[in-house]
């Protein structure tokens, strides 16, 4: 994978545009909102769609009937709509069954969800597999409801056989290894979780595709999957089981644009190449972040990590789900996140993936004794000054002639050359060389490729 | 093993009664006192006896002649007994040969043992394999002896071919694994070391037997051994070598009723299932304790851990031998220990053994993707609230309706279910799941058994 | 290897004498100075010499033409020699090609090397493979040069086909394992780097040879190599490849007589038996030192550690190369080092090698149950006092009779016996027993040999 410097400003504008277009859509794990979202994303970078019919068995699960909403509200006896899906689609408990009727407050109340701890937020609630209906509202709204009033409830939804939609794209690579880049798409108007992940995933696909086509081909293959959370991932796995079992690792991109801390939820293995690539990325950027150990709570890494698959899947995030106060509420909106944050996270994902791309294994073609670097112009012409404290770079710059050469002209690069040669045992991946030496992975990779060209190394994995 | 709550008060009374009955008996590595002790213990919980004849070869050792005492004293010229076995059986060096004679102070002195550092304590000394006689006395007593006096010494003991006695019982189990529960019995009137261990061993045997018969059968088999220290253990091993080699681990119960700190002497391996079960027990009780690394000094774990056997054997103790000032002196008496402490330690042994009993290996019968917990009533009906900080339990309790459900109703148990399923790879023992997750082993085991019943797991080890 | 106490004073005198005789010689990677040095060393302890002809291919390298110097200087127009090889052989860039001519200051300057940061030091520079000439001088000297002056330059050297010389000796051993003791010899009048290493290497060879002949034979074989750095090591390896591949580890002795800190540069493996022997040596002496992790910069361990050889080679040093300010300058002279320091380091090397010699593997001949130590006089006759805090050594000494025996008479040695027996599983090397128990390796070895004699152990490796 080559490393063209993308136009970050253009990417930020594109991210902002996508966030604004997509935010209002009412998505769920099936239905028209999901399809509209995927169609809009495909304009940025194409991927193929699959429809999985209702009733399809995915291991222990069954794809439910497709859900669509026309309208939903609660009106008081004057006809005033006190809770209205059209004002905010989070008001309706996602996957509510159709209902129309007039209820007392006491009859209505068990169908209402609020968050007294966060009284101005509408909670986000779902009822995919429990056939009931309900409304979510702010606790402030709830407290203003007249307990003597009679309320007219309309839940004008449809729940009928249809299908669940997911998208996928595959970028081929040379190494025989394949990595997963996954995100989930099913939340209605909520921004950090999970619209930000959806947009990042799309831009990442576009960017990787560009790199694959403009530079040398990708080293590894990448499997991009966008599907409703849990049931969508399971539907995808059920149709691609062998391929998923063969994955070397991957990411679930989610909650990537909040104002809070950088975070990383590690893979179930904890020290897989994914974890190491992410840690190295943060280390090389000298960027503070929180590492969250793998947890059985979370997103689709739960499915990919089950005993029969055990794919190491991690998540780099900014304001990780569960951790920020507005999580799963209407306050997780476009004011909470920013396209700038999202693009900063896109860079992190790209840098982590670059580590995977550069993570090759080399074997020395001159395994006994050091190769003579001098005759290849890779060593100081004058000996004796390497690592000598009394010699210094300042002096060299000040005067015009050969006071001192060794560790100034070559210094760090000479170290990189020597370490790469030293560890070129045909077994140690380059990421381990970076971890052990503290030298930047990119430099090690450049040096290694130069040594391949020079006939001193061969790539063996 | 089921977990009936024992009647701890009754057990404490029983312990107290046994301690008082057994304390006065003069025990040694052979002889009548040893047999009397074992006979009395068998009334609480039966076990079989074996007599190993004097002269029997046990690897590098030979069972010595049987030793019995009728009387032993030192009298001054007025006939006053200045040291008297009948006052305290610790006065006589254990295994002293018969002797009668009149000696000057200077002739007597080399046969006397005192502890100047602890002037009111009679030291406990033995001479099993060196055929001499001697007396132990307090240093205060010693200093009062008239150096001009002539002393009449009577050591009315017998040393003659007989036998060494040990006891054993075996509780069968289903797993094919077998654990050792051992204690040594050979000390005369000394309480913490080792009468407390003898009594705990007996009550543990009784309790385990009760659990085996009233609940489901035991998961593992348990081999209970009570024998004189070193030579008794060697005699037992020599007669049961194959079985001992097959043991998965075990305990030597000793010094379990002192007023001091909880302690654990780890097995020679340091991280065997015995060590892990004990550490988990202390962790779950949030109980402070001292861990003593394995040492070649100690008790019968020395024999079971030798290169040809290598059974990991640990000791949970309260006031570990070597560590308390009264160790191997007459001040280690019934005032020093308590039946309450002993029963507290019995609980610890039972809890550690419960960890072994619960330490099963499960395999998921639904290994790809998470099983759908909702349809089994194991998941919140309303989605979106799991791990949401804005939702809280207090609110739920205060109001009567469905404000919030997920992590309150199921919370911790849901985590337990998910972790058990996640690690059900057919290889990871449940104790490792407990260690990794911090969840109580008992809860994990209950959840796992429920999932076996529900068809989601099978037990494979 | 037996451990006769050497005459350290005589060794110090011998070291001092060798340092003074050898310091003035102008050495390089080939030539007469190198041969003169080796000849002088062979008078202390003989070793064989090999001449490798110019043009010989050593893997990626070629032995260069042989270099010899008759004279070299820079004179001003009055004939005054402003830089003169005969004053200090460091003035001439080592391996300068022949040249004679008259130059302006500006023409001369690019051939001059100084250290402005250390203005009174002549830097040491080389140009083995780049055919140029140059002079090194103090920066103070340089600043006094008249920029208007014309300088007459004479570099009266020869560069012609000849050979490179190295030395070697092999001390045979019984174990089948072989270790390397290497040093490099190629620096002109520089003391700590590397004349000190050359002298230590020679005295070590003499001392080991003496021990091998006066005591029992050596346990391991030792391969002593003295060669010019890099090209000499490569020439040696090329001629002894199979033997080098079979080495179990080794040392490169260098910078062993400075006034500064003890140091250890670990082997590439970091936890090889070499590293462990050195750490144990420092631990047992309770000596502070700096551990430098393996680095691809350094000395001939770079060659021995390359992927095709991977011999773990470490360096114990005092004032490690790179670290002291006078490194590779004329100030690294006989005033900087001392023969006392050198002999102190000789002791450390001998002690570390003793650890290798004592690092045997034993198997218990009585593997089940402890052997009865009492009947072998290895255990207290009176039992009960081992590890008893109330018993004490002071009392025993004060009174004349048997107050207390166990842990006083035998104490530490009894522990050593028991640990050696405990770990005698036929697999654990004795160095690991020392690491685990904290007991001195020498004591463990003595105890083990005693137990072999007593029929309780056999040596298996």
Tell me which chain C residue has its CA closest to the CA of residue B326: C390
Instruction: Quote the mean pLDDT of chain A.
Output: 93
Q: How far from A270 is each of A277, B427, C181, CA to CA, in Å?
A: 12, 18, 42
- 8 Å CB contact of B297 and C418: yes
- Residues 23-62 on A with a CB inside 8 Å of B are 58-61
Q: How far from B184 is each of A427, B37, B194, B202, B335, CA to CA, in Å?
A: 54, 12, 7, 12, 21
> Least CB-CB distance to C110: which of A370, A401, A421?
A401
Q: How far is A104 from chain B (nearest CA, A)?
A: 15
- 8 Å CB contact of A388 and C123: yes
The alpha-helical segments, DSSP class H, found in C315-384 are 339-358
pLDDT score recorded for residue C3: 59
- Chain C residues with CB-CB distance to A383 below 8 A: 94, 125-128
- Counting every residue written for chain C, the total comes to 461
Choose the mutation target among C239, C328, C329, C336 for the interface with A, i.e. most A CBs under 10 Å: C328
Token pair 């009585």 is at which residue?
Answer: C366
> What is the full DSSP assignment across B186-250?
--SS-IIIIIIHHHHHHHHHHHHHHHHHHSSPPSSEEEEEEE-TTHHHHHHHHHSHHHHHT--EE
pLDDT band at A402 (very low <50, low <70, confident <90, very high): very low
> Least CB-CB distance to C125: which of A363, A385, A418?
A385
> Least CB-CB distance to A366: which of C59, C123, C134?
C59
Choose the mutation target among B363, B368, B460 for the interface with A, i.e. most A CBs under 10 Å: B368
ipTM reported for the complex, 2 dp: 0.92
Which phi and psi (to 5°) does residue C98 adopt?
A: -65, 145
pLDDT digits (tens, 9 = 90+) for B320-336: 999 999 999 999 999 99
* Residue A121 forms contact with B (CB below 8 Å): yes
Comparing C-alpha atoms, which of C324, C335, C313, C329 is closest to residue C290?
C324
> Least CB-CB distance to C369: which of B60, B124, B128?
B60
- 8 Å CB contact of B384 and A322: no
pLDDT digits (tens, 9 = 90+) for B409-431: 335 788 999 999 999 999 999 99
- Chain A residues with CB-CB distance to C306 below 8 A: 364, 367-370, 421-422
Average pLDDT on C158-186 reads 97
pLDDT band at A406 (very low <50, low <70, confident <90, very high): very low
Contact C297, C322 (CB under 8 A): yes
- 8 Å CB contact of B296 and C418: yes
- Residues 414-443 on C with a CB inside 8 Å of B are 415, 418-419, 421-426
Cα(B291)–Cα(B293) distance, rounded to whole angstroms?
6
Q: Indicate if the pLDDT at residue C453 is higher than 50.
A: yes
Range scoring the smallest mean pLDDT among A106-110, A142-146, A214-218, B449-453: A214-218
- 8 Å CB contact of A383 and C127: yes
Cα(A203)–Cα(A11) distance, rounded to whole angstroms?
8
pLDDT band at A403 (very low <50, low <70, confident <90, very high): very low
* Residue A114 forms contact with B (CB below 8 Å): yes
Tell me which chain A residue has its CA closest to the CA of residue B392: A117
Those residues whose C-beta lies under 8 Å from the C-beta of residue A135, and which sit 6 or more positions away, are A72, A74, A83, A91, A92, A93, A111, A112, A113
pLDDT band at A378 (very low <50, low <70, confident <90, very high): confident
> Least CB-CB distance to A384: which of C60, C310, C328?
C328
For C425, other C-beta atoms within 10 Å of its C-beta total 16
Cα(A288)–Cα(B222) distance, rounded to whole angstroms?
53
pLDDT band at B392 (very low <50, low <70, confident <90, very high): low
Range scoring the smallest mean pLDDT among A232-246, B3-17, C358-372, C384-398: C384-398
> What is the full DSSP assignment across C324-339?
STTTTBTTSSTTT--H
Q: Is B112 helix (H, G, I), strand (E, B) or coil?
A: strand
Comparing C-alpha atoms, which of B384, B408, B387, B382 is closest to residue B397?
B408
* Residue A147 forms contact with C (CB below 8 Å): no
Q: Which chains touch B (3 or more CB pairs under 8 A)?
A: A, C
Contact A226, A164 (CB under 8 A): no
| Residues of chain B above pLDDT 90, percent | 88
Find the largest Cα–Cα distance for chain B. Answer: 95
* Residue A124 forms contact with B (CB below 8 Å): yes
Tell me which chain B residue has its CA closest to the CA of residue C420: B296
**End-to-end CA distance of chain B, in Å?**
16
DSSP structural state of residue A421: H
* Residue C377 forms contact with B (CB below 8 Å): no
Which phi and psi (to 5°) does residue C67 adopt?
A: -115, 135
Choose the mutation target among C369, C378, C392 for the interface with B, i.e. most B CBs under 10 Å: C369
Instruction: Quote the mean pLDDT of chain B.
Output: 93
- Chain B residues with CB-CB distance to A325 below 8 A: 389-390
pLDDT score recorded for residue A330: 98
Q: Indicate if the pLDDT at residue C405 is higher than 60.
A: no
For C120, other C-beta atoms within 10 Å of its C-beta total 12
Whole-model pTM? 0.92
pLDDT band at C65 (very low <50, low <70, confident <90, very high): very high
Cα(C40)–Cα(C19) distance, rounded to whole angstroms?
11
Q: Which chains touch C (3 or more CB pairs under 8 A)?
A: A, B
pLDDT score recorded for residue C213: 86
Q: Indicate if the pLDDT at residue C18 is higher than 80.
A: yes
* Residue C127 forms contact with A (CB below 8 Å): yes
Q: Is B314 helix (H, G, I), strand (E, B) or coil?
A: strand
pLDDT score recorded for residue C236: 98
- 8 Å CB contact of A424 and C307: yes
pLDDT score recorded for residue B403: 36
Cα(B322)–Cα(B260) distance, rounded to whole angstroms?
13
- 8 Å CB contact of A308 and B368: yes
Average pLDDT on C81-99 reads 98
- Chain B residues with CB-CB distance to C404 below 8 A: 113, 115
| Residues of chain B above pLDDT 70, percent | 95
* Residue A386 forms contact with C (CB below 8 Å): yes
H or E stretch including B129?
A: none
Average pLDDT on B160-170 reads 98
- 8 Å CB contact of B383 and A115: no
- Chain B residues with CB-CB distance to C368 below 8 A: 59, 237, 241, 306, 308-309
pLDDT digits (tens, 9 = 90+) for A270-296: 999 999 999 999 999 999 999 999 999
> Least CB-CB distance to B113: which of C363, C389, C403?
C403
Tell me which chain B residue has its CA closest to the CA of residue A120: B390
Q: Which chains touch A (3 or more CB pairs under 8 A)?
A: B, C
* Residue C382 forms contact with B (CB below 8 Å): yes
Provide the β-strand partners of residue A314. Answer: A251
Which phi and psi (to 5°) does residue C179 adopt?
A: -120, 150
Strands C48-53, C163-171: parallel, antiparallel or unpaired by DSSP? antiparallel
DSSP structural state of residue A256: B
- 8 Å CB contact of A389 and C327: yes
Q: How far is A381 from chain C (nearest CA, A)?
A: 6
What the block records as the tokens of B180 is 């050792």
- Residues 316-345 on A with a CB inside 8 Å of B are 322-323, 325-329
Q: How far is C402 from chain B (nearest CA, A)?
A: 6
- Residues 261-300 on B with a CB inside 8 Å of C are 268, 296-297
Choose the mutation target among A106, A113, A124, A182 for the interface with B, i.e. most B CBs under 10 Å: A113
pLDDT score recorded for residue B377: 84
Those residues whose C-beta lies under 8 Å from the C-beta of residue A311, and which sit 6 or more positions away, are A180, A244, A245, A247, A248, A249, A250, A304, A305
Q: How many helices (H) and strands (E) does chain B have?
A: 15, 19
Provide the β-strand partners of residue B361. Answer: B429
- Chain C residues with CB-CB distance to A439 below 8 A: none
* Residue B392 forms contact with A (CB below 8 Å): yes
């Amino acid at each position: 994978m080559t490393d063209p410097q993308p136009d970050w400003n253009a990417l930020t504008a594109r991210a902002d545009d996508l966030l604004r277009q997509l935010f209002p859509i009412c998505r769920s794990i099936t239905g028209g909102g999901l399809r509209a979202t995927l169609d809009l994303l495909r304009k940025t970078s194409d991927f193929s769609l699959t429809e999985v019919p209702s009733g399809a068995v995915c291991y222990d699960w069954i794809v439910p009937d497709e859900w669509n909403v026309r309208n939903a509200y609660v009106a008081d006896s004057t006809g005033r709509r006190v809770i209205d899906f059209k004002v905010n689609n989070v008001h309706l408990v996602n996957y509510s069954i159709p209902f129309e009727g007039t209820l007392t407050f006491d009859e209505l109340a068990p169908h209402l969800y609020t968050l007294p701890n966060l009284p101005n937020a509408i909670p986000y609630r779902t009822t995919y597999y429990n056939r009931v209906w309900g409304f979510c509202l702010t606790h402030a709204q709830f407290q203003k409801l007249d307990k003597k009033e009679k309320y007219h409830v309309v839940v004008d939804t449809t729940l009928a056989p249809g299908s669940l939609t997911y998208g996928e794209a595959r970028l081929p690579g040379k190494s025989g290894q394949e990595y997963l880049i996954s995100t989930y798409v099913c939340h209605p108007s909520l921004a950090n979780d999970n619209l930000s992940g959806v947009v990042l995933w799309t831009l990442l696909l576009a960017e990787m595709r560009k790199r694959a086509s403009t530079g040398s081909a990708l080293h590894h293959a990448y499997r991009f999957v966008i599907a409703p959370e849990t049931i969508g991932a399971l539907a995808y796995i059920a149709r691609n089981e062998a391929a998923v079992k063969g994955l070397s690792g991957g990411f679930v991109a989610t909650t990537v644009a909040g104002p809070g801390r950088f975070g990383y939820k590690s893979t179930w293995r904890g020290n897989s190449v994914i974890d190491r690539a992410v840690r190295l990325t943060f280390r090389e950027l000298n960027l503070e972040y929180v590492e969250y150990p793998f947890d059985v709570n979370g997103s689709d890494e739960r499915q990919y990590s089950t005993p029969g698959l055990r794919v190491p899947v991690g998540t780099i995030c900014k304001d990780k789900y569960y951790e920020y106060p507005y999580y799963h509420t209407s306050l997780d909106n476009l004011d909470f996140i920013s396209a700038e944050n999202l693009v900063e996270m896109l860079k992190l994902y790209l840098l982590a993936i670059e580590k995977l791309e550069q993570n090759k294994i080399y074997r020395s073609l001159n395994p006994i004794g050091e190769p003579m670097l001098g005759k290849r112009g890779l060593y100081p012409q004058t000996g004796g000054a390497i690592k000598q404290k009394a010699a210094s770079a300042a002096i060299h710059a000040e005067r015009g002639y050969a006071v001192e050469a060794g560790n100034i002209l070559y210094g760090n690069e000479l170290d990189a050359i020597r370490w790469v040669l030293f560890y070129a045992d045909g077994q140690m991946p380059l990421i381990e060389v970076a971890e052990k030496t503290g030298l930047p992975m990119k430099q090690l990779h450049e040096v290694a490729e130069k040594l391949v060209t020079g006939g001193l190394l061969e790539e063996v994995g």
